[in-house]
Structure 1
Amino acid sequence: MNTQPQTPAHLEALAELVAVVARLRDPEGGCPWDLAQTHASLVPYVLEEAHEVADAIRSGDDHHLAEELGDLLLQVVLHAQIASEAGSFDLAQIAAGIRAKLVRRHPHVFGGGEPASWEEIKAAEKPQPASTSPLSDRLAGKVRGQPALAGAMTISKQAAAAGFEWDDMAGVWAKVHEELDELKEAVASGDRRHAQEELGDVLFTLVNVARWCGIEPEAGLAGTNSRFLDRFSRVEAALDGDLKGRSIGELEGLWQQAKAEIRAENTPTQGC
């Protein structure tokens, strides 16, 4: 394993990237789109790039991963440039801050101390005032930066570990049906805000189903997305890319045909 520090070539490439981003943000001759961006406006792009990095990791394609990591790095540098222009912080402070944190959180590596859990070290870094809801306070901070699905799983696991749990799987399924009924009522009422809240309740309860069954909801949904696109592409191909004016019966028939084709392709042939 390579444990050597970064070479000048790495630092030079990073400096060149910083210079390019600064040029894009130059009020005189920069890019109008880049100049218009703020920390807030870039949030969707940060999340999108992070998810694309995860997808590249799952695909096992190193070339794709390197490209997506570059896109994510661009977001970091762009945020640093925006902050630097405002006099808040810069890339050097970001790097120095995370370096200090890594050293502090690994005393057994850098200080000769005993290993400690990250939770213990983080709690020592930011002592919290006395609270009547310490677990809720910790979870609120922990899930703040997580995607909603991952955050729901974190909350579900921690709450269950604290004793807020059903007696058996039957109780979980009963809750799923209860929340589904409430969602149906909210949709029928025409109150979109209420319906959105109830949809969230259904999804959160399904995350609990996943926890009880030991399955990963994010991976499950990612797999469904992939399977849907595979089937849908076959439906499109069968119609030469034109779905307009087709009946739902015709589309459903092609959908079932696509499922059957994929199933047959994935079924191992029996040897003699």
Structure 2
Amino acid sequence: MNENLQALQELIDVVAKLRNPDGGCPWDLEQTPQTLTPYIIEEAYETVDAIKSGDKNAIAEELGDLLLQVVLQAQIASEHGDFSLKEVAEGISQKLIRRHPHVFGDTSVESVDEVRQNWEQIKAEEKGESGQKPLLSTKLDKYTKKSPPLTAAMKISQKAAGAGFEWENIDGVWNKLAEELEEFKQALAHETPQQQSSEFGDVLFSLVQLARWNNIDPAEALQGTNQRFIQRLKKMEAFTDRPLTEYSLAELEELWQRAKKELLT
């Protein structure tokens, strides 16, 4: 057996044993496709981070963690008679063959752009959308399925603006943000948790509009803030000789300002 296939089979066997009611792992046995969903997202992010770092060992490890999620989902599905890893692998192989007729068929291409055009055309034919002009709502809905929420909000905002769904000037964006903030405050005071969540989402979406008008990537901006927060916290901990939980709020604020100042110098 090919070494790669042998290693993959070993992983399949390990996962099957973990899911075996007779001697398997209690944690693995209680998992469902739904409970494992957060781990798929988490492992995907960690894989991307490893690739950005260029650390080959970290990349291999994170790809393994991501592969585990695929095998685990397929194992659970096979236990319910839905599909197996075989169908998953065959499905993606056939899709790649169909969408690369210039490699597996007689089609000729002259550029990468032609490859992309062929891919989209074949994809549309597979979904029965060939020759149809897609609705704007259909286009935007795709972003909610393939992008993190903050990135999806920015793309939805850009496409909607391109279709004319736009304010005349930035004053309208500021007014909308103020309106949504007030509605959020009212929801916190009088509405259900579900309505509060809905209004908070509207505030975030308005902030994304403001970012778009100022050519700011909201996801990148938030990532920067996350990193700065951790850097300041790390600096605070370097100043202390006991856990932060043992400090008063006033002392923590003083440490925070000291850390912030040092990182700026």
**Above 0.5 in TM-score?**
yes
Shift of 1:12: 1.7
Aligned-CA RMSD value: 2.6
CA distance in 1, matches of 2:255, 2:197: 32
The alignment status of 1:25 with 2:19, answered yes or no, reads: yes
Cα distance in 2 for partners of 1:228, 1:31 equals 37
Between the aligned residues of both structures, percent identity stands at 53
> Is 1:14 aligned to 2:15, yes or no?
no
Corresponding residue number in structure 2 for 1:185: 186
Q: Distance in 2 between matches of 1:185 and 1:150?
A: 27
SS of match in other structure, 1:55: helix
1:48 alignment partner, SS class? helix
Q: TM-score, normalised by structure 2?
A: 0.86
Match of 1:75 among 55, 60, 69: 69
Q: Distance in 2 between matches of 1:129 and 1:108?
A: 20
Q: Does residue 56 of the first structure (1) align with residue 50 of the second (2)?
A: yes
Alpha-carbon distance between aligned partners in 2 of 1:129 and 1:179, rounded to the nearest angstrom: 40
Q: Give the secondary-structure state (helix, strand or coil) at the position aligned to 1:144.
A: helix
SS of the aligned residue for 1:40 comes to helix
Amino acid at match of 2:124: A
- Equivalent residues of 1:80, 1:89 under 8 A apart: yes
**Partner deviation per Cα, 1:13-52 (whole Å, 9 max, x = no partner):** 1111111111111221111111111111111111111121
Match of 1:166 in 2: 167
Q: How far apart are residue 75 of structure 1 and its match?
A: 0.2
In the TM superposition, residue 118 of structure 1 has moved relative to its aligned partner by: 4.2
Q: Which moved more, 1:184-193 or 1:215-224?
A: 184-193
The aligned residue for residue 151 of structure 1 is 152
Partner of 1:224: 225
Distance 1:164 1:109, change over 3 A: farther
* CA deviation after TM superposition for structure 1 residue 107, in Å: 3.0
Q: CA offsets, 1:244-272, max 9 Å, x none?
A: 364433222211110111122xxxxxxxx
Name the SS of the counterpart of 2:160 in structure 1.
helix
Q: Is the 8 A contact 1:77 1:91 kept in 2?
A: yes
Residue 88 of structure 1 and its aligned partner are, at CA, apart by 1.4
Paired position in structure 2 for 1:200: 201
The answer for unaligned runs of 5 or more in structure 2 is none
Residue by residue over 1:39-75, the C-alpha shift from the partner in whole angstroms, topping out at 9 and shown as x without a partner, is 1111111111112122223333332222111111100
Q: 2:87, 2:183 → 1: CA distance?
A: 49
Q: Distance in 2 between matches of 1:117 and 1:130?
A: 14
Q: Distance in 1 between matches of 2:103 and 2:163?
A: 32
Contact 1:21–1:81 at 8 Å: present in 2 too?
A: yes
Instruction: Choose 164-173 or 88-97, whichever is displaced more.
Output: 164-173
8 Å CA contact retained: 2:19, 2:29: yes
Residue in 2 that maps onto 1:120: 121
CA distance in 2, matches of 1:109, 1:176: 50
Check conservation: 1:143, 1:154, Cα contact below 8 A.
no
How far apart, CA to CA, are the structure 1 residues paired with 2:224 and 2:71? 32
**Aligned partners of 2:121 and 2:130 also within 8 Å:** no
Structure with greater helix percent: 2
CA distance in 1, matches of 2:17, 2:49: 30
Q: Which amino acid counterpart does residue 24 of structure 1 have in structure 2?
A: L
User: In the TM superposition, what is the alpha-carbon distance from 1:77 to its structure 2 partner?
Assistant: 0.5
